[in-house]
Amino acid sequence: MRNKILCISILVIALLMAVGSVQAAPPQREKQNVYGITPWTGKEYGGTFAPKGVDKIHLLAGENNVLNTLETEVYFWPITNEYMANWFESKVVIDGRLQILQDGKEIKVLERQPYVHVYPQGFYGGVSKLVVGDEAEKKYQEYQQAIDDYWKAISDYREAYAAYEQQMAEILKEVTETGKTYAEEELPKAPEQPEPPTLYVTGVTEAFIVNLPVGEYAIRTIDADGNTVEGTDKKLSVFEKRRSGVGYQIIPESKWTRPVQSDDATQILYLEGTRTMYLKAFHEAEYNQHDFLRMTSLEKPLAGKGAESAYMWVHEEEVPDTKVQVLQAGEVVMEVPTKPYYVKQTPGYALGYDIVEFDAESDEFLGRKPSFEAVKLELGPGSYQIRVVDATGQVLKGSVRDIRSVNVVPMWQLYLLSLVPLIFGLVVVLRRRNLRLKAAKPVTA
């Protein structure tokens, strides 16, 4: 009977899976005229797009933002609740100009301009810089020349290394046959392998570069005859940050892969006993949360909804050459600069690590790079303040934070405290028992 029930259950599950696979139809794709948007977020260039169902675009004021009018296939993806564009199979640039209006009057008409994204520290090593116009082509040619020079250097290196190996082989043969010895300075030096360029530049592309002051606008793409291209009428909201400050990324020594952030100067940081932590300071800006999320995630219909009155901090570029002062009772007790650190895995079966100061001259770190750079602080119990100072010793506005480090009661004391009511109850029970025994004792004449 039990086996029969099991077989029936398996058949039901298989049937449900089969029905589900039949009903799971691919999302419907629709050809749409959209705006591809690369907005400046205060830290980097993001990526989003405005499909037919979105009527307003949000951008930061006073910054170069990239817009392009494109035709693509758009579909709604219910799993992540967002619109998706089929850029790889369907992407056509729509000819025309971008007309910008305010209060119903035309204030600007933009032509497409060539642009590139320049990554000074490499594509995966940092944020990009937008270069527009004739300078964009120059930057791209500069990058191509650097790549060509690198491959030429690689070719020369291989030839030089082959000659070096041949020379060393002849010396070794001579030493073997004659017993002649060579001093170290008499031996040929191995050629050094060239380093690839860190600079990365994207290919030259043309788009509309939108840079506007704060305000409410309307945009549309117009063709050569001045007619509006279908589906390109959109509202445009240009906003700015509310205030600026300094935020911290706090890396605890005990869990360096799980940093926490401190964005607001009113926040108090709490430590347990004596703790070591690593701080990275960032310039930050506070934005309206609705506007910012709509700017960065326009393809998500629910992004920013309900947050029209909320604000959020956004970390921007890192404060260069950070120095953190630690104060106690209003007096500076230490000033700590930024240093490079390396996370070293501990040997053996135990899963652990040590964070050590990185020394580029040490053989231990030969060919390696620091894991991170930060300010190391070790604080014991007490009340402190921290703040960031620049090269002239000036305190950066919004960088002050209060820190409270408290002693933790040992666990054995907590266990002992939990025994107090038990001991009290035991005393009461024994006292009552003693009283009953006395009352039951017979009185002798």
Give yes or no for residue 411 having a pLDDT over 90. Answer: no
Query: What is the reported pLDDT for 103?
Result: 94
Query: What is the reported pLDDT for 348?
Result: 62
Using CB atoms within 10 A of its CB, is residue 381 exposed (0-12), middle (13-18) or buried (19+)?
middle
Query: What is the reported pLDDT for 22?
Result: 43
Instruction: Please tell me the distance from the alpha carbon of residue 114 to that of residue 206, in angstroms, as a whole number.
Output: 4
Of 199, 201, 202, which Cα lies nearest the Cα of 150? 199
Model confidence at 202, in pLDDT bands (50, 70, 90)? very high
Query: Rounded to the nearest 5 degrees, what angle is found at the Cα of 257, between the Cα atoms of 252 and 258?
Result: 65
273: tokens are 């006993």
Give yes or no for residue 371 having a pLDDT over 80. Answer: yes
Instruction: Please tell me the distance from the alpha carbon of residue 341 to that of residue 328, in angstroms, as a whole number.
Output: 26
What number of other Cβ atoms are within 10 A of residue 246's Cβ? 23
More confident residue, 252 or 429: 252
**What tens digit of pLDDT does each residue of 74-95 get?**
999 998 899 999 999 999 999 9
Q: What integer is the mean pLDDT of 394-412?
A: 81
Model confidence at 442, in pLDDT bands (50, 70, 90)? low
Domain boundaries, the chain: 28-240, 245-287+313-406
Output the average pLDDT for the chain.
87
Query: What is the reported pLDDT for 415?
Result: 66
Give yes or no for residue 150 having a pLDDT over 50. Answer: yes
Instruction: Please tell me the distance from the alpha carbon of residue 161 to that of residue 169, in angstroms, as a whole number.
Output: 12
CATH 2.40.30 assigned to 245-287+313-406 = no
- pTM value is 0.79
Task: Give kind and range of the element (H or E) at residue 166.
Answer: helix 134-178
Model confidence at 7, in pLDDT bands (50, 70, 90)? low
Instruction: Please tell me the distance from the alpha carbon of residue 215 to that of residue 240, in angstroms, as a whole number.
Output: 10
Give yes or no for residue 340 having a pLDDT over 90. Answer: yes
Model confidence at 125, in pLDDT bands (50, 70, 90)? low
Q: What integer is the mean pLDDT of 183-202?
A: 89
Least-confidence region, from 47-61, 270-284, 350-364: 350-364
